[in-house]
Amino acid sequence: MYRIGFDVGGTFTDFTAINTTDGAATHFKTSSTPHDPSEAIETGLRHFVEERGITSDQFEFVGHGTTVATNMVIERRGVPTGLITTQGARDVLEIGRQTRPHLYDYDITKPEPLVERYMSIEVPERMNADGDVLIPLDEDAVRQAAKQIRDAGMQAVAICFLHAYRDGRHERRAAEIVREMMPDAYVSVSSDVLPEFREFERFSTTVINAYVGPRMDRYLERFLERLQNIGFESAPRTIHSNGGLMSVDTVRAFPVRTCLSGPAAGVVGAAKVAGASGYPNIVTYDVGGTSTDVSLVLEGRPAFTTSRLVADYPVRCPMLDINVIGAGGGSIAALDDAGALKVGPRSAGAFPGPVAYGKGGTEPTTTDANLVLGRLDADTLLSGRMTVDKEAARKAIETQIAAPLGLSVEDAALGILRIAVANMGRAIRAVSTEKGHRLSDFALFAYGGAGPLHAAAVAVETGMKSVLVPAQPGTMCARGILLSDVGFDFVRTGVSTASVDAWPQITAAFAEMYKDGDAWLDGEGIAPETREMQYVVDARYDGQNHEVQVVLDGIDTAYDTFLDGFRAAHRQEYGYDIADRAVEIVNLRLSVKGASGADPDTTHTPEDADPRMGKRQVYFDGGWFETTLYDRAKLPVDQVVAGPAIVQEMSSTTIVEPGQNVRVDATGTMIIEV
């Protein structure tokens, strides 16, 4: 039997298949098809089935990661959407927050709301913050609003009422009316999508859910049809932003939860692979052509957050805390108006790409710099299947960077890499040092096509002592899907002052949420013995505006234990606690999981041959060094290789700098000691 996972990226769709009989893993890629991502999935699956001569009923698990929802928001390719809201609240999306991403940049503008103002329609209704009805829902007004939205040609409707997080009955009734009048419309209700207070974030998340819902639904239909055409019978699961898997029906209801689908899979896989090598504390470091994604894993658990921006629109739902910056293999190096060298966030992308690719690119990139310095060569890019023009890369760096700065071409290229590494280092500190963690206690886990290429330098930049590079790092996200558990998150807002007397109400609320989580796992077909529940309280000191998360030991956790946990979490986040200040409970969260039963592949059998592939001159800090090239598949277990060295494989290239050592452990993970 087989388990297969695939991650749909902008350039490639990555696949990892595991034979559950002998544990053997197969990794491969196919070109993505942006016009219809499911086409690339079908191509890759057909190739695997036909090449292996296996039947589709031999697959016990099919999992996929997708950027479809994210790309629709970024490119504004969702459907025309209307909003029905409480009288007086039509401009919540327009007003937003007063925060500015760059305080002194007057050119920055807020993105246009995804619902045009004339399609944001108010109806009389009102609840207070306790859920008491102040003004009953005017059903005739809802019918008139639905008619207006329908006549305007809207395909989706978001329903967001004030204080609906406390009681969603008005929203549910309004949704019934809208569905009666617009049976073909996609209806998104805020009390289902995000039953939390803070209107702007709740409205934004619900509108995005509605905006992408119809096209995500059509994509899923095509995806399922293609699976059926091949003969697949296993119901596929999709990974969502918190690193859990969910069914197609759940994705249809909550497509907004897939906004970090692929990157989340990589973090989950990295945590499990690193744990198998004895490294529970890592910073994940995923570098592609355009961006770098970093996240922190402490004691085997990835860090979580409850909000982030997607194309500058707030999305609030439980998700892995992943910091994304514009730095990758295609990042463009250029001089700014003051003559200083900058790298990124502009990217040459897949087309025209770096200058050396010969596809029309004219501005030097980090890939061009690596080629000029000998860190990459023609035989390293897709195992020699991609031709490159190293001389063109050298000329571009010389004329645009080196000559204006009065540097040699080599020093200019090294400067490009140093700046890229510094940018990546700042991203890593944002998820670690800035949150109270000491980076010397963590290993850097590098994957993606360009992660291992820069990881050794990034480790030096950040003071980390070890770098881990998994087998086939370019397909880590697809591998992570196979290692993920089925999961979902439930939340309930109930702002109240924490006290011994009020604590039983908290445990009673968790007991009700437990029933909801258990019912959801029943619907997902998860066996009772594989279920796991995690209870989390969002809390803050009285007078604060934002919360810290406190993980409880269980539903029967004592109040004093919660209080100690809150103060410890506050010290970790802010560096202090206030012993005599009242504590306020804001949200209760329940994370439910159903174990997938998958373990990371820990078998590594190197080929019995000399791993050395030759030598070439490579430029490091200090000049040119004669550097040995190694074939990763042939490196023996625990044999120490001294740097400088370059380790090559199909999906990536790993650089080991002078003074560093590298070895492959018994699980197949490569470990660089900095």
Tokens 């529940």 belong to: 533
- Centre a 10 Å sphere on the Cβ of residue 441 and count the other Cβ atoms it contains: 11
Structure token digits, residue 164: 């609906």
Structure token digits, residue 245: 């898997």
What pLDDT is attached to residue 598? 66
With the CA atoms of 669, 670, 671 and 674 taken in that order, what torsion angle do they form, in degrees rounded to the nearest 10? -150
What pLDDT is attached to residue 350? 63
Distance (Å, whole) CA 131 – CA 124: 16
User: Vertex 27, ends 355 and 479: CA angle to 5°?
Assistant: 100
Same domain assignment for residues 467 and 492: no
What pLDDT is attached to residue 386? 60
What pLDDT is attached to residue 378? 64
What pLDDT is attached to residue 370? 93
Same domain assignment for residues 335 and 322: no
H, E, C per residue of 377-420: CCCCHHHHCCCCCHHHHHHHHHHHHHHHHCCCHHHHHHHHHHHH
- Centre a 10 Å sphere on the Cβ of residue 225 and count the other Cβ atoms it contains: 11
Domain region containing 287: 261-327+421-482
Distance (Å, whole) CA 172 – CA 192: 9
Higher pLDDT: 11 or 502? It is 502
What confidence tier does 306 reach under pLDDT thresholds 50, 70, 90? confident
Mean pLDDT of the chain: 90
- Taken as a whole, the chain contains a residue count of 674
In a domain? residue 603: no
Same domain assignment for residues 499 and 573: yes
Q: Does residue 352 have a cis peptide bond before it, meaning omega lies within 30 degrees of 0?
A: yes
Using the predicted structure, report yes or no on whether residue 457 has a pLDDT greater than 90: yes
Q: How far is CA 370 from CA 3, 318, 468, 485, 654, in A?
A: 36, 38, 21, 38, 12
Which residue among 594, 626, 650 closes a domain?
A: 594
Nearest Cα neighbor of 549 from 202, 309, 305, 299 is 305
- Burial-class residue 509 by CB neighbours within 10 Å (0-12, 13-18, 19+): middle
Distance (Å, whole) CA 531 – CA 487: 9
Distance (Å, whole) CA 16 – CA 23: 12
What confidence tier does 294 reach under pLDDT thresholds 50, 70, 90? very high
Secondary structure (DSSP) of 472-484: SGGGHHHHHHHHP
In a domain? residue 513: yes
Instruction: Give the CATH number for residue 12.
Output: 3.30.420.40
SS3 185: coil
Same domain assignment for residues 180 and 101: yes
> Buried b vs exposed e over 267-296: b needs ≥16 C-beta within 10 Å?
bbbbbbbbbbbebebbbbbbbbbbbbbbbb
In a domain? residue 287: yes
Contact 355, 362 (CB under 8 A): yes
Distance (Å, whole) CA 491 – CA 534: 12
Same domain assignment for residues 95 and 136: yes
In a domain? residue 242: no
Using the predicted structure, report yes or no on whether residue 600 has a pLDDT greater than 80: no
Distance (Å, whole) CA 94 – CA 113: 6
What confidence tier does 458 reach under pLDDT thresholds 50, 70, 90? very high
Structure token digits, residue 579: 């012993």
What pLDDT is attached to residue 159? 98
Q: Does residue 345 have a cis peptide bond before it, meaning omega lies within 30 degrees of 0?
A: yes
In a domain? residue 243: no
Contact 197, 585 (CB under 8 A): no
Structure token digits, residue 536: 């989390």
Same domain assignment for residues 316 and 342: no
Higher pLDDT: 104 or 301? It is 301
Residues 213-252: tens digit of each pLDDT: 999 999 999 999 999 888 887 788 999 888 889 889 999 9
Residues 99-135: tens digit of each pLDDT: 777 778 877 788 899 999 999 999 999 999 888 999 9
Residues 607-632: tens digit of each pLDDT: 778 999 999 999 999 899 999 999 99
Contact 142, 178 (CB under 8 A): yes
SS3 560: helix
Q: What's CA 528's distance to the chain center, in Å?
A: 29
Using the predicted structure, report yes or no on whether residue 10 has a pLDDT greater than 70: no
Which residue among 565, 594, 623 closes a domain?
A: 594
Tokens 């008005």 belong to: 170
Same domain assignment for residues 112 and 189: yes
Separation of first and last alpha carbons in the chain: 41
- The pairs formed by 350-358 with CB atoms below 8 angstroms and a separation of 24 or more are 350/10, 350/11, 350/289, 354/329, 354/330, 354/393, 355/389, 355/392, 355/393, 355/396, 356/388, 356/389, 356/390, 356/392, 356/393, 357/386, 357/388, 357/389, 358/387, 358/388, 358/389, 358/392
SS3 154: coil
Same domain assignment for residues 10 and 40: yes
Residues 530-581: tens digit of each pLDDT: 899 999 999 999 999 889 999 999 999 999 999 999 999 999 888 899 988 9
Residues 50-89: tens digit of each pLDDT: 888 888 778 888 999 887 888 888 888 899 999 999 999 9
What confidence tier does 379 reach under pLDDT thresholds 50, 70, 90? low
State whether the Cα torsion 664-665-666-668 is positive or negative. Answer: negative
Q: Which residue stretches of 182-198 are H helix?
A: 190-193
Residues 402-422: tens digit of each pLDDT: 999 999 999 999 999 999 999
What pLDDT is attached to residue 309? 81
Distance (Å, whole) CA 91 – CA 228: 45
What confidence tier does 90 reach under pLDDT thresholds 50, 70, 90? very high
Residue 467 parent element (H or E): strand 466-469
Distance (Å, whole) CA 15 – CA 42: 11
In a domain? residue 605: no
Determine the residue type at 653: T
Contact 160, 206 (CB under 8 A): yes
Contact 143, 157 (CB under 8 A): no
List phi, psi (to 5°) of 190.
Answer: -65, -35
Q: Which residue stretches of 154-282 are H helix?
A: 169-181, 190-193, 199-230, 248-253, 261-276
Same domain assignment for residues 576 and 507: yes
Q: What is the DSSP letter of 448?
A: S
In a domain? residue 671: no
Instruction: Give the CATH number for residue 519.
Output: 3.30.1490
SS3 637: strand
Q: Considering its fold, how many domains does the chain have in total? A: 6
Same domain assignment for residues 502 and 581: yes
Same domain assignment for residues 187 and 225: no
In a domain? residue 600: no
> Looking only at Cα atoms, what is the longest distance across the chain?
80
H, E, C per residue of 366-379: HHHHHHHCCCCCCC
Same domain assignment for residues 513 and 395: no
With the CA atoms of 72, 77, 80 and 84 taken in that order, what torsion angle do they form, in degrees rounded to the nearest 10? 20
Distance (Å, whole) CA 103 – CA 108: 9
Using the predicted structure, report yes or no on whether residue 195 has a pLDDT greater than 70: yes
Distance (Å, whole) CA 14 – CA 405: 40
Tokens 């091949």 belong to: 230
Which residue among 482, 504, 523 closes a domain?
A: 482
